[in-house]
Amino acid sequence: YEGEMTFFHKHGTARNHADYVLPEAQSVIMVALPYWTEDFDQTRAILADSQAAYVSRYAVGRDYHKVLRSRLKQLAQYLSTLVPEGIHRPVVDSAPVSEVSFAVQAGLGWRGKHTLLLQKNTGSFYFLGALLTSVKIEPTEAINGHCGQCSRCIQACPTGAIVGPHTVDARRCISYLTIEYGGSIPEDLRPTMANRIYGCDDCQLACPWNKFAQPSVLADFAVRPGLQDVGLAELFAWDEASFLRRTEGSPIRRIGHEKWVRNIAVALGNAIRQGPDSATAQAIAATLATRLDDPSALVREHVQWALAQHPRLPPAPPF
């Protein structure tokens, strides 16, 4: 189910052994940092607006890798004052470490049926980080899961990517398709993506435990200018220089301009289908047509598909 994420096989079961990353490791300190910053109604309103651009809420602020790594370094410095001879290594998606597995063992929560870590008091909207250390620390106890018979996350997945409790088929997951995957998005999945152009939060939004989500107090995770109440057409018009400038310091930048435009083209095609006879649909089609001669064959293909969602438009020329 991993799709093109071959790194899962590259390191295999070593991901569950801290000494694979830090040979001197005796303990793993797991931390969770909340990132949710807005009202749930605001989030759902964006999803309900076919012409609005939906970006997974973890990515609307500053790149979490930098924020969390800085805090883990501070924790390592503090630990060094207690045990000067200790060796420490902070990890934030930067080494083959199974963060969720370690977090479960550390008693931070349990693995939900959507595969994310869940906590009773805070839900799942937080980033995980690990501090590997040579200092031997008394371990905390794992806790039991509390999902019970609930399957709301499974039912909420737009593409049916959660194929069973605790199992996600990445090849169908919108987060994978819009972020990790670099090819042509399967046509049968494009309509289910709606206006989600970078990631997806549906399984988390459906989870009852997230009604207890604690808002982040960090300004770093607030929605950055340019991503607040922004329309698909506006983002589609960004050239590569604009994309790089506007996503500086953002996790969005890693997907590159080509995939960014590809994703938005799909969303615009879905918006057209919401009202094919309206002047709005004609305006969306005009926006899409600006990239019919895009240098990228990948972009042109998705633009053509998007235009084809308007039944009254003549077919676009072959890309």
| Closest to 72 in 3D by CA, of 129, 126, 24, 140 | 129
- 317: which 2 tokens? 């020329």
- Contact assessment for residue 19 and residue 25, using Cβ atoms and an 8 Å cutoff: yes
The total number of residues shown for the chain amounts to 319
Instruction: Report how far apart, in Å, the C-alpha atoms of 176 and of each of 1, 97, 165, 173, 227 are.
Output: 11, 19, 18, 5, 21
CA distances 294 to 196, 213, 262, 281, 309, Å, are 22, 42, 11, 21, 19
Give me the catalytic one of 19, 93, 220, 229: 93
Neighbours of 124 (CB within 10 A): 21
**C-alpha atoms less than 13 angstroms from C-alpha of 180 in its C-beta half-sphere:** 14
CA 147 to chain centroid, in Å, comes to 22
Question: Which residues does 208 contact at the CB level (< 8 Å), separation at least 6?
Answer: 150, 152
Q: Residue 253: name the closest of 227, 233, 228 by CA.
A: 227
Helix runs in the chain, H state only: 7-11, 40-48, 64-82, 99-105, 152-156, 174-175, 190-193, 202-205, 232-236, 240-246, 256-273, 279-289, 297-307
Q: Does 93 participate in catalysis according to the annotation?
A: yes
Q: Which residues are catalytic?
A: 93
